[in-house]
Amino acid sequence: MRQIITLIGILVFNFSFAQQTKVYNDKLNIVGDIYEYKAQVDEDPNLELVDLEDFVPGIILDIRYATTNNFTGQQVYTKAKAFARWPVAEALAIVQEELGKRNLALKVYDAYRPYSATVLFYEIYKDTTYVASPWSGSRHNRGAAIDISIVDLETGEEIQMPTGYDDFTEAAHPDYMDLPQNVIQNRDFLINTMQKHGFKVYASEWWHFDFVGWEAFPLMDIPFDKL
């Protein structure tokens, strides 16, 4: 009996290991080793993944993939953390400072995302309009993309946006106009503020912003608890 349990254990371990390391495209250069990552940071400090809660005073985290309240229905991350590369975090701190003057704050739904999570998302929802292709990887895997909204600090609530997070419909597109005027204003205020500070909104999701220059940051598959 004990041998069977051990065997099952080995199978489960190997299965989850195989899942974690499944790479769709051999040509992708994915940093999966913490020592490799640290060596890269030694060489170029801009590659450091910074903890946004420490680095951006007042930023609010609502890390949906650390809960079951996301499109997968699964808890994907073991910790509710948000990391981004140093220059990305610096730009976010400037955005946050600007919002703070209006008694508003940034709310982060997701930031750096290990490659293995991108693979899981694709296997659950195979529409690359809304879910990154595992053949190219996501800019989130590079620590250079952020899913974000705005909270009104007076009410503690998110200002009214066109859709909820990870709403895979046309209403989530940043140019969708069949919305109340105040919602369009809120969305465009977020987009304009982010674009002013070095981010570009994604064509299918009002909440997703790529840092301009994302190509400089390698794809990574290191879980939060190792960072």
Residues lying near Zn ion in the complex (CB under 5 A) are found at 147, 208
**Residue carrying structure tokens 């951006």:** 56
Contact 65, 76 (CB under 8 A): yes
Q: State which residue, 33 or 62, has the beta carbon closest to Zn ion.
A: 62
Smallest distance, Zn ion to C-beta of residue 68, A: 19
Q: State which residue, 99 or 172, has the beta carbon closest to Zn ion.
A: 172
Smallest distance, Zn ion to C-beta of residue 14, A: 31
Smallest distance, Zn ion to C-beta of residue 202, A: 7
The strand pairing partners of 110, in sequence order, are 147
Q: State which residue, 62 or 147, has the beta carbon closest to Zn ion.
A: 147
Smallest distance, Zn ion to C-beta of residue 16, A: 25
Smallest distance, Zn ion to C-beta of residue 100, A: 23
**Residue carrying structure tokens 């693979």:** 119
Query: 155, 162, 188: which is closest to 60 by C-alpha?
Result: 155
Q: State which residue, 147 or 221, has the beta carbon closest to Zn ion.
A: 147
Work out whether the CA dihedral 20, 44, 145, 225 comes out positive or negative.
positive
Report DSSP letters for 177-191, one per residue.
--S-HHHHHHHHHHH
Q: State which residue, 48 or 205, has the beta carbon closest to Zn ion.
A: 205
Using CB positions, name the residue nearest to Zn ion. 208
Q: How far is CA 34 from CA 27, 173, 224, in A?
A: 20, 36, 11
